[in-house]
Homo-oligomer: A and B are copies of this chain.
Amino acid sequence: MNVETKFIELLRDRNLKATPKRLELLTVVAAFNSAIPYSELQKKLKHFDRVTLYRTLHALLDGGIIHKASVSSDEVYYAMCKEYCTSECHNHKHVHFKCVECLEVSCVNTTNTIQIQIPNVQIQQVDVEVSGVCSKCM
């Protein structure tokens, strides 16, 4: 099964129409080697109306097809969801790593499990954002 067919299935499974714009956005996000910055999406999808990009991103986020990764609260990055995610729950087993040199953000599967405990608190989700220097920039 080719990639496009997989995207169409993914979209229909989430009750989203498989439009050319959505397929194009998904192709761009999936083809990027790391999490793609919003500015990069704008560049690659200049022919998209600003609102269409906004709404398409939201639709895919809500559908659990892509996810956001905003490390150090500057630019927002987007990446494909690897596992099965829904609007209610993003089940990511990875952390987000941002290289302070090349500013590349990637989703990394950590070997060690992150265990957080907070007294008197019912934890639902733990997001870990790591920054440092990647192998290429070292």
B122-A116 in contact (CB<8A): no
CA distance A128 to B133 in the complex (A): 18
Taken residue by residue from 105 to 116, chain A's Cβ proximity to chain B (1 for < 8 Å, 0 otherwise) reads as: 000101110111
Range, interface on chain A: 35 or more
Q: How many copies does the complex hold?
A: 2
B128-A100 in contact (CB<8A): no
Residue of B nearest to A72 (CB): B127
Residue of B nearest to A133 (CB): B122
B130-A123 in contact (CB<8A): yes
The one of B100, B111, B116, B125 that contacts A117, using a Cβ cutoff of 8 Å: B111
The one of B72, B108, B121, B126 that contacts A128, using a Cβ cutoff of 8 Å: B126
CA distance A17 to B124 in the complex (A): 42
A72: chain B residues at CB < 8 Å are 127
A133-B121 in contact (CB<8A): yes
A124-B100 in contact (CB<8A): yes
A123-B127 in contact (CB<8A): no
Given contacts A73-B70, A129-B127, A130-B126, contact A135 B115 (CB under 8 A): no
Tell me how far the C-beta of A105 lies from the nearest C-beta in chain B, rounded to whole angstroms: 13
User: Which chain A residues have a beta carbon within 8 Å of chain B's beta carbons?
Assistant: 68, 70-73, 76, 95, 97, 100, 108, 110-112, 114-118, 120-135, 138
